[in-house]
Amino acid sequence: MNLANADTIGLWAGFVFTLMIFSYVLGDNILYRLAVYVFVGLAAGYIVVVTVEGVLLPWLQATMFTAEAGVGEQALGLAPFALTLLLLLKASPRLGNAGAIALAFIVGVGAAVALVGAITGTLLPLASATGGAVQLDVLNGFLLFLGVASTLVYFQYLARRDRAGAVRRSLVVRTVGALGQGVVIITLAALYAGAVLTSLTIFSERVAFILARMTGG
């Protein structure tokens, strides 16, 4: 089988699988489920290939399989696999505690990376951009600042218990929080509209692909 044939078979396979997925519009059915299981199976295969070729083999080549690899490099090369084996022990009720060490390592390193990423990648740039927006355009910049602040207030749940025992937020927090709720609703509506437009674009591309296959284009 030459490559041109493989390409043609691939295009027809794509056509058939697209129709199988679109059959879901009529309700859950066997064709849709077959396509989804093929999708999961192929995805699992590609994940294995990418993980092995993109991460594991380069790591082993850089540590264990170099010409000048000593005991230290070899031990370092094996360390992630030893940690993974420890993680596997988490499934055992008797040896699960040993797995906690590996998990603690990943959680500790991950927490540090997340902390630095959140501060340098989100908190500082967004706070500075929001403050700077007021200088660029006073009215819209102020509205932007108000929107950001009210959104943050909306997501805080500190409250006091009144004399009757009911838990209530203060009037100021409730008012600003209501504004924040409106801002969040508008944001979610915009995200929804973006998702609708994106999926519509992809849907029309798929329909064009089906029509092209059917008309021999």
Partner 1 sequence: MRRLNAAAAAAVAIGFGLFTLVGLLSGPESGLFYALTTVLLQVAAVTAAASILIGILNLLSVHWTRLKDRRKGWGYSLLLLLSTLLVLALVALERLGVVGGSPTPSSILFESVQVSIESALAGVVFFALVYGAYRMMRRRVSGAGILFTVVLLALLLGSLPLPGLGLLASVRDWLAAVPVSAGARGILLGIALATVVTGVRVLIGQDRSYRE
Of residues 157-176, which lie at the interface with partner 1 (CB under 8 A)? none
CB of 162 to partner 1, least distance (A): 25
Give the nearer residue to partner 1 in terms of CB position, either 159 or 178.
178
Alpha carbon distance 27, 16 (integer Å): 18
Look up residue 71 and give its two tokens: 């005991």
Which residue in 66, 97, 170, 175 binds partner 1 (CB under 8 A)? Answer: 97
Is residue 57 within the footprint of partner 1 (CB under 8 A)? Answer: no
From the list 125, 127, 187, the residue with the least C-alpha distance to 151 is: 187
Look up residue 35 and give its two tokens: 């396509």
Q: Are strands 160-161 and 167-168 parallel, antiparallel or unpaired?
A: antiparallel
Is residue 10 within the footprint of partner 1 (CB under 8 A)? Answer: yes
Is residue 14 within the footprint of partner 1 (CB under 8 A)? Answer: yes
Q: Contacts with partner 1: how many residues (CB under 8 A)?
A: 111
Is residue 81 within the footprint of partner 1 (CB under 8 A)? Answer: yes
Give the nearer residue to partner 1 in terms of CB position, either 46 or 65.
46
CB of 217 to partner 1, least distance (A): 16
Interface map 114-133 toward partner 1 (x if CB under 8 A): xxxxxx--xx--xx-xx---
Alpha carbon distance 152, 131 (integer Å): 15
Is residue 134 within the footprint of partner 1 (CB under 8 A)? Answer: no
Strand partners, 161: 167
Give the nearer residue to partner 1 in terms of CB position, either 59 or 164.
59
CB of 165 to partner 1, least distance (A): 28
Give the nearer residue to partner 1 in terms of CB position, either 112 or 211.
112
In order of 17, 213, 215, 217, the CA distances from 22 in angstroms are 9, 15, 19, 21
Backbone conformation region of residue 214, classed left if phi is above 0, alpha if psi is from -120 to 50, else beta = alpha
SS3 168: strand
Contact 74, 64 (CB under 8 A): yes
Which residue in 29, 61, 92, 108 binds partner 1 (CB under 8 A)? Answer: 108
